Amino acid sequence: MGCEPSKQGDVYSYGILVLELFTGRSPTDEAFKDDFNLHNFVKMALPDRVAQIVDSALLLREVEETVVRRQNFNNVGDINEIETEGVDITFGNPNQISAPLRKCLLSVLEIGLACSNASSNERMNIRDVTRELQNIKNAYVGLGIHGQRQRTS
């Protein structure tokens, strides 16, 4: 925005990169004109329309992995564990995602928004960003959203 390079500018760039990666949209997309930009696009969609703005390639991966998990559980005959996993996907409908994945995606997009605030004073501190991302990762892995539940011996 014509300012000197700074940590806040780097945080802004990081936030835009997060939004770009998770939505699959470029900040220079033709749809973004005047005051309507990638930041505002995501901000207007949250929290209710997460599945509609997230890159469909990310959701497709969940669907594929869920199918594999269901097949594996069906082969072992342990269908009850699938039901308690919280997986709620209607195959062929990418707008329906599991509640844990929706929460994870919402959290990451909120970090992207917090980092890409127009006002540098309102942007998230990068230390807080890394801590929050670690918390999201731990929840993602711990809840078994990506693969089977973590089991302790």
The structural domains of the chain, with segments of one domain joined by +, span 7-69+93-144
pLDDT at 80: 38
From the list 24, 101, 31, the residue with the least C-alpha distance to 55 is 24
The amino acid that residue 33 corresponds to is K
Which pTM value belongs to this model? 0.72
Please answer whether residues 19 and 113 qualify as being in contact, where contact means their C-beta atoms are separated by less than 8 angstroms: yes
pLDDT at 129: 97
Per-residue pLDDT of the chain (153 residues; tens, 9 = 90+): 566 788 899 999 999 999 999 999 999 888 888 889 999 999 999 999 998 999 988 887 666 666 665 566 555 544 333 332 333 333 334 456 788 889 999 999 999 999 999 999 999 999 999 999 999 999 887 765 544 444 444
From the list 24, 142, 118, the residue with the least C-alpha distance to 152 is 142
d(CA 120, CA 123): 5
List the CATH code of the domain at 7-69+93-144: 1.10.510.10
Please answer whether residues 69 and 125 qualify as being in contact, where contact means their C-beta atoms are separated by less than 8 angstroms: no
